Amino acid sequence: MASSKNHGTRVNWLDALRGAAIILMIIYHTCWDLMFLFGHHINWFEKHPDLLLNRIICFSFILISGYSVGLSKRIVRRGVIVFLCGAAITVVTLVFTPANPIWFGILTFIGSSMLIMSLLDKGLKKAPAIPGIIICLFLFVLFYHVNRGVLSVGSFSVATLSRGLYKNYVTAFFGFPFKGFVSEDYFSILPWIFLYMTGYFAYQATSDLAKKTAGPIRKWGLLSLLGRYSLPIYIVHQGIIFVILKILDWAGLI
């Protein structure tokens, strides 16, 4: 959804990267539905590729969204729209799958991050980009297990956090989920904001390249098309996949 600051132009290679992430996401959710909703075993997906593919997709969306902040003229408006889409998904899951709700999923996180960056953008633009990338990556690693109450670097534990931080849904939003908290898709502000900011500083380091390569929308095939419409595709793709698989299962084709 990111566009350059000139109306009617796009950074087409960024759309293509986002489109590639969309394709991986569709593959992942198709495999997940086949296994957990339709009972079909997929040997290659049952092992590490399940988590690996999930993380590649999530990392890609977050980094690309962080990068795109520098290209957007209306960060607040976009942030509100994405946040509300995430909130709508939460409501739908609470109504239709209350045992498996989505609290603070990736859309809620990305929308929140856009709003946060709209407040920090002016100050962070003055910070050097390369040190910013390094510091944010380090903080992301350090806080990666914050949901579990631990700060660590690899296998080295730096600190154990007080359980008093982990109280309710508000604390869960920021990265401190209470005991019994359940969410099928959970991206809290910590640690993921640091990965988002890594993308932001990556744009600051390569802004000249992004501006030079921004131009009129060109047909880069399926990748570019999917990248331009990533938000609506994200919202509807699960329902479409489920309906298609249901029809195929009813017809005895899977």
What pLDDT is attached to residue 125?
92
In the chain, where are the structural domains located? 9-250
What pLDDT is attached to residue 49?
65
Q: What percent of the chain has pLDDT over 90?
A: 73
Residue 186 scores a pLDDT above 70? yes
CA distances from 210 to 7, 98, 184 (A): 15, 43, 35
pLDDT tens digits for range 58-94: 999 999 999 999 888 889 999 999 999 999 999 999 9
Q: What is the mean pLDDT of residues 168-194?
A: 97
3-state secondary structure of 2: coil
Q: Across all residues in the chain, what is the average pLDDT?
A: 91
Residue 4 scores a pLDDT above 50? no
The answer to whether the CB of 226 falls within 8 A of the CB of 19 is yes
* HSE-CB for 154 with a 13 A CA cutoff: 1
What does the radius of gyration of the chain's CA atoms come to, in whole angstroms? 19
What pLDDT is attached to residue 48?
66
What pLDDT is attached to residue 6?
42
What pLDDT is attached to residue 217?
67
Q: What is the mean pLDDT of residues 173-193?
A: 97
What pLDDT is attached to residue 8?
55
Q: Which residue bears the tokens 């049952």?
A: 46
pLDDT tens digits for range 217-231: 665 578 888 998 999
What pLDDT is attached to residue 220?
58
Q: What percent of the chain has pLDDT over 70?
A: 93
What pLDDT is attached to residue 95?
95
Q: Which residue has better confidence, 160 or 50?
A: 160
What pLDDT is attached to residue 1?
43
* HSE-CB for 70 with a 13 A CA cutoff: 26
pLDDT tens digits for range 101-159: 999 999 999 999 999 999 999 999 999 999 999 999 999 999 999 999 999 998 899 99
pLDDT tens digits for range 191-214: 999 999 999 999 999 988 887 777
